Structures are given as structure tokens and as C-alpha cells.
């Protein structure tokens, strides 16, 4: 029996990095997948091809999580196609390598709009369908930068701390309707997002992380598949750290 047999999942930011790994692993575990992306049609096509290689249905939508009206239309279309939505993974996020002293209002707004408002924009319409079903599983991706005093950008850490608060408070409200909400506080993974970090910071990470390396996206995806599966039926409102073993 596959972990996600027969499930219907929405994954934001599914064309690359952790999002793409989530799409692949969830499809391998039996789920039909819908995902959004914002830039590369070529990468989105590659993700679709991988999902379909497992014999699963794939839907893709080129729409930003910051486009509230576009996201509402996307979720409606997904529900029409899938008939129900069992899983939502809020993965889409951006970062900027800024010091607070030089952070512009535009950079702050971009990060907060994508990483915080984007979670609201996607979750709200999906949540309405889950309420009617009296079932559902929501997984949000946060960061260890939200929990520890690390040399990361203040706007990014702030946005990911908001995701933790969102997860904890929504989990209590949602549980009355059979909906589970959890989060992963991710460390540094081998993605485009971490490639933008300063080389000095990445070198420091080798000593700071007991595994001595960045995580692989599929390592997070494998754990996420368990977290949103029926086998993980008693966890709710939890923020699970997955960072390769912090020594700080």
C-alpha cells in the first residue's frame, strides 16, 4: 500500500527545488498532483512528465501565490478536476540576501507578500473545500531561521516565523473539522534558494551542521510524504525541525 494512494495534492512552487521533489515523491507514493509555478514553463513541463511517469494525474498553473484572484481560480479548477483536495503543501517562498540596514521597502514587501500572504492566499480557498469534506492535511514549510539567531535575512526569518504562528493557531481551529496542520522547519537544502547564500555562510554551515552538508530536496520530500499520510494521524500543530543536526 502506497503512503498517499488515491490522494489529491496541491503543492505550491512545484517546478523546481524542494517543490519539484515533493511532486515527484508524492506521485510515486500514489497521489495525483496539482502545482503552481511562476517562471519556467520548461521546468514545469519536466515536473509534469515526472508525475505522469508514475501513472498519476498532473495539473500545472502558471500563477504566482501573490495573485489572490488567480489562486482562487486555480483552486476552483483543481477541485473541479480532482473532485476533492486531500493535501496542501505551502512550499513556495523567496529570499533576498539583504542586511537589515540596507533592506529596501520593496524587498521587504516582496518577501512578506510571497512567504506570508502567499500562504494565506492559497490556504484560504483550499481550507473552504476541506471544511466541506471534514478532512484534509496541510503542511507548511518554515525555516530554522525563524527559530534561531542565524545569519539569515531579517525579512525571510520574519516571514518564516509567521508561518509557524499560522500553523500552530490554524491547527487548533482546523482540528474540529478533521483537518490537520503541521510544518517543517527546514535547514539548508541544495536548491536555488540556498545557492544565493554567501559562500562564507555555506562554508560555516559545514561545521554548524553535524551532517556536514546541505540536505537533498528528496530527503525532505520523503519525510513530508509521511507527515501528510494517514499513518501520521496523531500529529497536529507541530513544527518538525529537519536541518541535518544543528550543533548550535
The residues annotated with a catalytic role in the active site are 156
R_g over Cα of the chain: 17
Residue 11 near residue 22 (C-beta atoms within 8 A): yes
Query: How far does CA 180 lie from the centroid of its chain?
Result: 15
Which helix (H) or strand (E) segment is 204 a member of? helix 199-208
Residue 127 near residue 119 (C-beta atoms within 8 A): no
- State the pairing for strand pair 8-11/87-90: parallel
- State the pairing for strand pair 58-62/8-11: unpaired
Amino acid at each position: 500500500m502506497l503512503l498517499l494512494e488515491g490522494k489529491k495534492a496541491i503543492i505550491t512552487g512545484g517546478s523546481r527545488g524542494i517543490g519539484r521533489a515533493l511532486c515527484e515523491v508524492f506521485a510515486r507514493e500514489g497521489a495525483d498532483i496539482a502545482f503552481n509555478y511562476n517562471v519556467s514553463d520548461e521546468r514545469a513541463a519536466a515536473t509534469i512528465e515526472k508525475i505522469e511517469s508514475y501513472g498519476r494525474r498532473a495539473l500545472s498553473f502558471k500563477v504566482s501565490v501573490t495573485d489572490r484572484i488567480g489562486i482562487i481560480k486555480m483552486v476552483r479548477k483543481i477541485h473541479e478536476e480532482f473532485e476533492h483536495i486531500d493535501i496542501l503543501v505551502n512550499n513556495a517562498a523567496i529570499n533576498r540576501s539583504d542586511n537589515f540596514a540596507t533592506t529596501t521597502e520593496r524587498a521587504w514587501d516582496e518577501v512578506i507578500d510571497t512567504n506570508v500572504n502567499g500562504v494565506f492566499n492559497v490556504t484560504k480557498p483550499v481550507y473552504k473545500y476541506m471544511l466541506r469534506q471534514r478532512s484534509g492535511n496541510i503542511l507548511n514549510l518554515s525555516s530554522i531561521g525563524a527559530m534561531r539567531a542565524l545569519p539569515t535575512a531579517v525579512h525571510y526569518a520574519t516571514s518564516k516565523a509567521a508561518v509557524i504562528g499560522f500553523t500552530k493557531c490554524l491547527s487548533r481551529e482546523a482540528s474540529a473539522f478533521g483537518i490537520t496542520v503541521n510544518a517543517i522547519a527546514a535547514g539548508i537544502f541544495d536548491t536555488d534558494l540556498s545557492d544565493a547564500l554567501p559562500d562564507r555562510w555555506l562554508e560555516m554551515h559545514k561545521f554548524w551542521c553535524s551532517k556536514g552538508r546541505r540536505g537533498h530536496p528528496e530527503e525532505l520530500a520523503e519525510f513530508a510524504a509521511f507527515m501528510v499520510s494517514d499513518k501520521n494521524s496523531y500529529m497536529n500543530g507541530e513544527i518538525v525541525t529537519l536541518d541535518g543536526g544543528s550543533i548550535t
